[in-house]
A and B are shown apart, each in its own frame.
Chain A
Amino acid sequence: MARDGVMSQFLQATLYGLLQGGVFALVAVGFSLVWGVMNVVNLAHGAFVVAGAYVAFELHSWIGIDPFLAVPVVAAVLFAIGYLVQRYLVNLVINAPVFITLLLTFGLQLVIVNGMIMLFTANYRSIPTAYATTSLALPGDVRLPVGRLMAALLAVGLTLALGYLMRHTRVGLAILATGMDRGAARLMGIKAAHVYALTFGLAVAMAGVAGAAVGAIGTFSPADAGRFTVFSFVAAVLGGLGTMSGALYGGLLLGLAEAWGGQLLPGTLVNAVAFAVLVVVLAVRPQGLAGRSFYAARVEV
């Protein structure tokens, strides 16, 4: 009996960790894309996640759209914001040393987070849905939370779709080509300014969708932006920068590490474990779990 209890507890933690990891992956994939293609560390990424949650929240309270059905609208709104930010702000300093873009996004993060506090107040919110607190009972007293399952499926689906888009469409290939060698890409007739803006727009749209999912299954407030950025940072690097599958592996690994660590360790040491895993993975396999020396071949022009 006790053995069963331990087993069920372990399975439950694993399942929950994987679902959580799926959402981490969606949070991280845009961050990884921007970093890989443009060499921009987007510190405002978490702020875009929260912004997506607010768009979904507002849609729900105005016209009662379910947050998962609102995903296309959220994606479109956030894509537009991202496109404009890159085209008219980040592109202005894209040739400056890498820290500069980092600082720009830091300033952007302050503006967006505090803008959201002014617009929406700092209240904790959640988008109420009927399924958010229901779960399916699996054998062995393991529960499968419906809301989280939907979020994780959406996350994994979108991450894979983005991977397909990058490999098999003209836009995706243009983005990859620009990421690898901007000079050569321009010679081939690719408009780098437009492609960069598209990339950023896609990344921000992904962040926004992740926000909508987070809003449906958990709580959010503007103060959470920093936490999402750190998650993205860790998941993106764990998996290897710039690859869509890398973000997926990184997110899942992070989710599992937190879930298992939480079972085995007392107190809140679990976070220490997550970061220890990160440092060890980096020291042993610096290109990340799925990373290839793909972007290392980048030529800066």
Chain B
Amino acid sequence: MPAADTAAPATGSPARPAGPSPGLLPPRWRRVAPWLLLIAGVLAGFGLQTQLYTGQERTASTILMFVSLAVAWNLIGGYAGYACFGQVGFFGLGGYSTAVLMTHVHLSFWLALPASALLVGAFAALIGAPLLRLRGHYFAVAMLGVAEGLREVVTNVPGLTGGGAGITVPTVDAGAPTRWLGNDGFYILFLVLAGILVGVGLLVSTSRAGYALRAINQDEDAAAAMGINTTVVKTMTLAVSAALTGAVGAAYAFQQVTIYPERLFDVDITVLMVVMVVLGGAGTVIGPVIGAVAVAFASEWLRQNYPMVHTFLLGGLIIAAVILLPQGFTTYVHDAVRTRRFSPLANLRRYRL
């Protein structure tokens, strides 16, 4: 339990905007402050590592992995408003590409990871071009179909992927292309990945592309009328989001050593990403980070303390959080600070029928 206790503030604290709202800071600070916070957060992560047992490191690595996944999903789901329900397909594809490259081609992990990310990005661009013409729920379910289909394909080429029996990345023998990194190594890997992903999120948030995406989210036709090439922007965003997710999948596959299609394409992982982003605050930089840490921490804590009923309790917690903070934590705090109305009950009045 101490693992998660200490892990939460390390990545979560830079986010809690308890002070005056960002609008009151001088413009130069507003630009630099998030980057400083990010660097401080990553450094705090390194500091935290000195305090953890090796098994806690693994738990913390999982939390960091979900931070990365949530941030990646937020690009397409949060900013662009395209509910990608097949994100786990990119995760699994990245993981399997790396496992196959390392096992059959004996490629070093450090080459396999970027190669997998590129492959997944290209795949996403390819399917994104036709599917991103779909809107709303139709896009969601099409992507769900893509992810489920990928799982079945991976299961059915046992020569390459081991099929349902799973594939084991060589990590110990003389033939291993890269030695297993150890719990310490993987903690650092996932920390750095999370740092890079949050950095990408920051870049997108403040760039032209970010504004284009928000415009698409609010009114796609109007955005197109304003001269935004919506197809290109959407496809690029999906590709970037997928490539980053694929990179996380690659790291995960190497960490797990043996991977199975059922787990690597588990639709629950997609749902968790959505839960984390929405509870934290969709379309913000820090929201997904808070959401991921809070949800991953809560589920871990409940499991350790109430092993028999933990999922039941987690469900109740999500219901309560959704009803009290339907706009997500970050947005709630932002609005509350601005309007000086802090009661979540006002919230309830706003969204009920």
Contact = CB atoms under 8 A, between A and B. Distances in A.
Chain B at the A interface: mostly helix, strand, loop or mixed? helix
B137 interface: yes
Interface in B106-152: 130-131, 133-138, 140-142, 144-146, 148-149, 152
Nearest to B158: A267
Contact of B131 (A193, A233, A279): A279
A96 B351 contact: yes
Given A269-B156, A272-B156, A111 B316 contact: yes
B201 interface: no
24 contacts: A89-B323, A93-B322, A99-B274, A102-B278, A103-B278, A107-B316, A107-B318, A107-B322, A109-B315, A110-B312, A111-B312, A111-B319, A115-B312, A226-B268, A237-B141, A268-B155, A268-B156, A272-B153, A276-B149, A278-B145, A279-B146, A282-B141, A283-B130, A286-B133
Contacts of B267: 226, 230
A196 interface: yes
Nearest to A114: B312
A278 B353 contact: no
A78 interface: no
Given A106-B318, A118-B312, A276-B149, A94 B351 contact: yes
Contacts of A108: 315, 319
A267 B156 contact: yes
Given A233-B144, A275-B145, A279-B145, A110 B138 contact: no
A153 interface: no
Interface of B: 83, 130-131, 133-138, 140-142, 144-146, 148-149, 152-153, 155-156, 267-268, 271, 274-275, 278-279, 282, 309, 311-312, 314-319, 322-323, 326-327, 348, 350-353
A150 B326 CA distance: 43
Contact of A192 (B138, B271, B315, B353): B353
A165 interface: no
A192 B144 CA distance: 31
A92 B152 contact: no
Given A275-B145, A279-B146, 20 more contacts: A41-B140, A89-B319, A91-B352, A94-B351, A95-B353, A96-B351, A97-B282, A103-B274, A107-B319, A110-B311, A111-B319, A193-B353, A226-B267, A230-B267, A233-B144, A234-B145, A237-B137, A269-B153, A275-B149, A283-B130
Contact of B352 (A94, A276, A279): A94
Contacts of A275: 145-146, 148-149, 152
A112 B316 CA distance: 10
A241 B136 CA distance: 12
A220 interface: no
A121 to B, nearest CB: 12
Given A94-B352, A286-B134, A230 B278 contact: no
A96 B331 CA distance: 13
Interface centre among B141, B153, B278, B279, by most chain A C-beta atoms within 10 angstroms, is B141
A112 B148 CA distance: 24
Contact of A111 (B137, B140, B315): B315
Nearest to B268: A226
Interface string A192-235: 11001000000000000000000000000000001000100110
B142 A279 contact: yes
Contacts of A114: 309, 311-312, 315
Contacts of A35: 137
A271 interface: yes
A103 B153 contact: no
A283 B134 CA distance: 7
Given A91-B353, A92-B351, A103 B316 contact: no
A166 interface: no
A56 B139 CA distance: 36
A244 B309 CA distance: 38
8 smallest A-B Cβ distances: which pairs? A110-B315, A107-B318, A272-B152, A96-B326, A111-B315, A275-B149, A114-B312, A107-B319
Nearest to A94: B353
Contacts of B275: 103, 106
Contacts of A115: 312
Contact of B134 (A94, A267, A282): A282
A104 interface: yes
A271 B319 contact: no
A294 B258 CA distance: 48
A112 B318 CA distance: 13
Most buried by B among A41, A92, A226: A92
A93 B148 contact: no
Nearest to A41: B137
Contacts of B352: 91-95
Nearest to B134: A286
A100 interface: yes
A23 interface: no
Nearest to A115: B312
A103 B146 contact: no
A34 to B, nearest CB: 12
B309 A118 contact: yes
Contacts of A241: 137
Contacts of B282: 97, 99
Interface in A131-157: none
